[in-house]
Amino acid sequence: MFKNHIKIAWRSIKKDKLFTTIKIGGFAVGIAACLLIALFIRNEVSYDQHYEKKHQIYRVVMQGMFNGEQVKSTHFQLPLADALEADFPEILKAGKVNTIEIFGAGKHAMHLEGEVQNNFEEGFVLADQEAFDILEIQLEQGNTATALTNPKSIVISRTKADKYFKNGKAIGETIILDDDSAKPYTVTGIMKDVPKNAHLNFDFLLPIEDTRMSWTNQNYFTYVLVDEHTNIQELEKKMLSIIEDYVIPAQIDRGRAPDFIEVLRTIEYKLQPITDIHLYSDIKMADGLKHGDIRFVWLFAAIAGFVLLLAVINFINLSTAKSANRAKEVGLRKTIGAFKHNLVAQFLTESVLFSIISFVLGVLLAWALLPSFNTIAAKTIAMPWSAWWFLPVLLITSLLVGAIAGLYPAFYLSAFKPVNVLKGSLSIGGKSAKLRSGLVVFQFTTSVILIIGTLIIYQQMDYILKKELGYDKEQVVVLEGAGVLRNRMDSFKEQLLALPQVKSATVTNYLPVDGASRNGNTFRKANEGNEGRGIPAQIWRVDYDYIKTLGLNLNAGRDFSKKFALDSINSIVINSKMVQELGLADPIGKELDNNGQAFTIIGVVDDFHFKSLKEDISSLSLVIGKDNGAVSIKLNKGNINEALASITGVWNKNVPNQAINYNFLDQEFTRMHDDVQRMGKIFNSFALFAILVACLGLFALSAFMVEQRKKEISIRLVLGAPFKSIYQLLTLDFMKLILISICIAIPIGWYLMNRWLQDFAYHITIGWGIFLVASGIALTIAIITISYQSIGAALLQPLKGLRSE
C-alpha cells in the first residue's frame, strides 16, 4: 500500500510541473531561510560554552548611582582580585585581565630577534597567572603553571606560531615589540587558538607588569572561579565589604569629598556568568568588546519561525488551490470503495514526499548561501554536516513539517462527496475560504512588518553616517602602529607637513572611534577643594595640532599654542558637556583639580561624538601630552592615491622595516556601527525571503479563486463582460486582504522598531512616510502577483470554462 502511495504521489508531482515547482520552491526557500537563522542563533548562544567549568566562572561587574543615574562598569582596581581571593573562601581563584585594545594599545609592530622586518599584529591582551588558569587557556607547548610568571614572557596562539616559526616550534624564542629591543619578550607557551565564539579573543598573551597596587586606578577586568556550591546572591552581598574595607579608606586618604564617599556607598558588586557576557551585557558597561544581543536572537528566532510558517501556509493554500483537479480522483476512488483513511494516508504521503524534497533543496540552498550570509553577519558559521544530530534532526523535522502541512489538505480533499464531484459541482465552504484568506493576511502582515523594519534600520544607519558629529572625519588618514617611530616622531611629522597634499597632522591615539585610547578621570572645581562635587570625564593626551586636524570648533577661549609655556604643563581644553556638568557660567581661566593636579581652562570646544551614537556625549578634556600610538593626517582636497603614495614614501624613509598600516577616520567611524549595518542587511535578506514566500501564498489563493470561479467568469464573458470588470472582480478582494494586512502591520511595526530605536541616544523619528512606502511596496508586489492569475482568467475562452456543462 505504501509503495502504491509513493507511486501515485510521484505521478501527481510530475503531472502539474508549475504548481509542483512553486510548492517545492516555496517550501525550500522557507527552509533555507529558517536553517540560516537557526545556524546564526546556534552560533550566538554557543559563546563561551567551551569552558569546562563554565558554571563556576564569573566576571565582576560594578553598578552604582551617580547624579541619579545608574552607572555600570567592568573595569576595576589592580588589587581587587587579590582581595577577593583572600577574603572570600567561596572564591577559589581571582584573576586580572587588561584588554589593552580598549586603550588603543592592542596593536603592535612585531618582529623576531635577529630580524629587522616588522609585521603589524593585533590581539594583544594582558593577564596574570590566575586569569590564565580561570579562562582555561590550553597550552600545546610550555608549562601551564608558570606560563605568565615571568614579566617578560609571552604566550602566542598556534596560528601565530605557525606564521612566525619554522615547524611551529617557538618555546624560548625572542619577540621584539614596537622596535624596542631593550624590552624583549620570551615565548613561554603556545596556546590552542581561542575559539571564535569566545567573548575575549586574542592571539598574544602578556603578563601584567603594572605594580601599582592602587585602589584608585580602574583598568582591569576581574574574573573569579567560585566553588560549585556557592550561593551567588549571598556572595554578592558579602562582597559589599570590599567598598568599606578597601575602596573608601583609599579614597579618604586621597582627600576625597564626603559626597564622593557617599556615591561609593551606592556601589554594588555583581557576578556575571561568563556564558552571559556576549548576549546579556548592558551597553552602559562599555567594556570595549564586541557583543551580541539576546533580543536580536529572539527576534531572528521569531523571523525563522514565521518564514517557516509562511512556507507551510503556502503548501496548504497551494494544495487546496488545485483541489478541483483532484476532486474527480477522490470521487472515483470513493465510488470504487476507497475509505477516507486511505485517502488521508495518500495525501499525507504526498505532503511528506514534498517536504523531504523541499528539505533537501532547502538545505542545499542554505549551504550555497552560507558564505554570503557569513559575510553579511560577520560570522564564520559552517554547515554542521559531521555533527551526529544534524541529519537526524533534518529528517525528523522534514517528516514532522510534511505531516503538519499535509493534515488540512488531506482531510479537506478526502471529505469531498463523490456525487458532487462527479457531477462537477464542487462546493467550497465559507469557513475554508475565511481560513485561507486569514492565512494570506498573516503572511502579508509579517512581510509588511519586515519591510517597515528594513526601512527604519536603513534610515537610522543613514542618519548615523550623515549626522553632524562635531568633528571633521573626511579626508583624514590614520597611521596605526606609529609607536615604532619613537624619537623620530617629530621629524616624521615635519616631513609629512612639508607634503603639498597634507593640510595638518596630529600625533596621538586618542581618537573619536572604537579601538582608540581612553582614559577616565575625576574632575572638580579647584576653588571648592575636597568638598567640591567631582564629575567623571575623559582626559586625552594630544599635541598642539589636534583641534585643528580634527576640525573641532572652539566656542570659547583659545587653542593650545607653543607660544604659551604653561600650555604643556597645566592648560586644559574641555567640551561644552563638561562645562555644563561642572556648572561653570564663565569657564575660561577657571581652575580644575584632577586627582591633586591643577589645570587651568583655556578653551571650550563644542561637544563632539567620540563614542557610538547609542551613547550620550559625556564630559571630555584635552591636555598636551605624549602619545605616539597613531598619526592622523588631514589631507587637502585632491588625488587621494597621490597623497597616500607620498605619505607611504615618507613612512618608508623613516621606518623601512615595517609596512605602512593606515585607515581612514570616516571608515573607522562606520565600523563603530557595524552591528547596525549587519542587522539591516540580515533584516533585508530575510524580508526578501518572507516577501517571496508570501507572494507564493498570494499566488496560491488567487489560483484557487480563479479555479473555483472559472464557470462564473466564463458566463460573465459570454454575457459580454469587459476585461476590466473581470480583472477588478478578481483583484479587489485580494486588495482588501492586503489593506487589512497593512492596517495590522503598521502599529506592530511601529511598536517594535520604536523599542529598537530606544537603544540609541541619537535616532530618527519614525514618520508616516516610512509606512506609506512600506504599504506601497506591499501593494505593488501583491498587484503584480495577483495580475498573473487575474489577467489569465480575464482572457479565458468561455467554452473551455463551460465545457463540463
Report yes or no on 743 lying in a domain.
Answer: yes
CB-based burial, 488-499: b 16+ in 10 Å, e otherwise: ebeebbebbeeb
Clarify whether residues 365 and 450 are in a common domain.
Answer: no
Using the predicted structure, report yes or no on whether residue 101 has a pLDDT greater than 50: no
The confidence band for 441, taking pLDDT boundaries of 50, 70 and 90, is confident
The answer for residues whose C-beta is within 8 angstroms of residue 773's C-beta and 6 or more apart is 455
Average pLDDT over residues 69-83: 86
Q: Does residue 727 belong to any structural domain of this protein?
A: yes
Q: pLDDT band at 319, cuts 50/70/90?
A: low
DSSP per-residue letters across 78-125: TTHHHHHHHH-TTEEEEEEEE-GGGGT-SEEEEEETT---BEEEE-EE
Would you say residue 64 has pLDDT above 50? Answer: yes
One domain, residues 600 and 565: yes
Whether the Cβ atoms of residue 394 and residue 356 lie closer than 8 Å to each other: no
**Residue 261's pLDDT is what?**
78
- β 153-157/185-191 pair status: parallel
Asked if residues 91 and 271 have their Cβ atoms less than 8 Å apart, the reply is: no
CA distance 671 to 457: 16
- 20 and 158, same domain (yes or no): no
Q: What is the mean pLDDT of residues 92-99?
A: 92
pLDDT of residue 416: 65
pLDDT at 105: 47
Given a cut of 90, whether residue 602 has pLDDT beyond it is yes
Query: pLDDT-derived band of residue 611, with 50, 70 and 90 as boundaries?
Result: confident
Going by the DSSP 8-state scheme, the letter that residue 315 receives in this structure is H
At 286, list the grid cell: 562599555
Across the range 283-292, mean pLDDT stands at 74
Residues 667, 684, single domain; the answer is: no
Residue 103 pLDDT > 50: no
Lowest mean pLDDT among 341-355, 494-508, 517-531: 517-531
Higher pLDDT, 76 or 2: 76
SS3 637: coil
Strands 630-635 and 554-557: unpaired
**pLDDT higher at 484 or 717:** 484
Does residue 322 belong to any structural domain of this protein? yes
Which pLDDT score is estimated for 743?
Answer: 95
d(CA 662, CA 668): 11
Contact 399, 349 (CB under 8 A): no
Domain membership of residue 435 (yes or no) is no
- Rounded to whole angstroms, the Cα distance separating 517 from 540 reads 8
The answer to whether the Cα torsion of 8, 14, 15, 20 is positive or negative is positive
Report whether 220 contacts 182 (CB < 8 A): no
Alpha-carbon distance 353 to 362, whole Å?
14
State mean pLDDT over 757-781.
91
- How many domains in the chain? 4
pTM of the predicted model, to two decimals? 0.81
d(CA 163, CA 161) in angstroms, rounded, equals 5
How much is the pLDDT for 219? 78
Provide mean pLDDT across the span 543-562: 95
Share of the chain above pLDDT 70, in %: 87
Which of 637, 671, 705 is the last residue before a domain boundary?
Answer: 671
What number of other Cβ atoms are within 10 A of residue 706's Cβ? Answer: 20
Over 70: is that where the pLDDT of 803 sits? no
**pLDDT given for residue 429 in this prediction:** 46
Residue range 448-463, pLDDT digits in tens: 998 898 899 889 988 9
Separation of alpha carbons 107 and 105, rounded Å: 5
- In this structure, of 182-186, 403-407, 577-581, 657-661, the range with the lowest mean pLDDT score is 403-407
Say if residues 177 and 109 touch (Cβ distance below 8 Å).
yes
Residue where one domain finishes, among candidates 256, 285, 314: 285
pLDDT of residue 30: 86
Range of the structural domain that residue 608 is part of: 476-671
190 within a domain of the structure (yes/no): yes
Which of 61, 500, 508 lies closest to 286 in space, CA to CA?
61
Residue 258, amino acid = P
pLDDT score, position 528: 65
To 5 degrees, how large is the angle CA 158–CA 161–CA 164?
150
261 shares its domain with 309: no
Minimum mean pLDDT range among 25-29, 235-239, 314-318, 432-436: 432-436
HEC secondary structure over 16-65: CHHHHHHHHHHHHHHHHHHHHHHHHHHHHHCCCCCCCCHHHEEEEEEEEE
pLDDT of residue 571: 95
pLDDT range class, residue 507, cuts 50, 70, 90: very high
Q: What pLDDT score does 798 carry?
A: 65
Tell me if 447 is assigned to some domain.
yes
pLDDT digits (tens, 9 = 90+) for 701-711: 777 677 677 77
Pick the closest to residue 672 from 286, 213, 155, 154 (CA basis): 286
The pLDDT tens digits for 3-54 are: 766 776 677 766 777 777 877 888 888 899 899 999 999 999 999 999 999 9
Residues 484, 622, single domain; the answer is yes
So what's the pLDDT on residue 588?
95
Mean pLDDT is lowest, of 211-220, 526-535, 537-546, 779-788, for 526-535
Instruction: Examine the fold and report which residue of 624, 648, 671 is the final residue of a domain before the chain moves on.
Output: 671
Name the packing angle between helices 17-45 and 340-377 (round to 10°).
50
Angle between helix 430-466 and helix 723-757 axes, rounded to 10 deg: 50
Q: What is the dihedral of CA 748, 751, 757, 762, to 10 degrees?
A: 130
Residue 138 lies in a domain: yes
Which is more confident, 411 or 298?
298
Is the pLDDT reported for residue 244 higher than 60? yes
For residue 428, the SS3 value is coil
Which of 691, 776, 749 lies closest to 30, judged by CA? 691
Q: What average pLDDT does range 473-478 have in this prediction?
A: 94
* Range with the largest mean pLDDT of 225-239, 240-254, 369-383: 225-239
* Local confidence band at 321 (pLDDT 50, 70, 90 cut-offs): low
% the chain with pLDDT above 90: 41
What string of H, E and C letters represents the secondary structure of 685-727?
Answer: HHHHHHHHHHHHHHHHHHHHHHHHCHHHHHHHHHCCCCHHHHH
pLDDT at 288 (0 to 100): 74
Do 684 and 792 lie in one domain? The reply is yes
Residue 368 predicted with pLDDT over 80: yes
Examine residue 436 and state whether it is found in any structural domain, yes or no. Answer: no
Is the pLDDT reported for residue 82 higher than 60? yes
Per residue in 144-156, pLDDT tens? 888 988 888 999 9
Judgement on whether residues 377 and 457 belong to the same structural domain of the protein: no
Q: Are 33 and 94 in a shared domain?
A: no
Domain match, 255 and 301 both: no
pLDDT band at 612 (very low <50, low <70, confident <90, very high): confident
Is 483 found in the same domain as 392? Answer: no
Q: Using the predicted structure, report yes or no on whether residue 258 has a pLDDT greater than 70.
A: yes
Average pLDDT value over all residues in the chain: 85
Task: Report which of residues 635 and 466 the model is more confident about.
Answer: 635
Do both 521 and 646 map to the same domain? yes
Q: What's phi and psi for 188, nearest 5 deg?
A: -110, -5
Output 1 or 750, whichever has higher pLDDT: 750
Higher-pLDDT residue of 791 and 459 is: 459
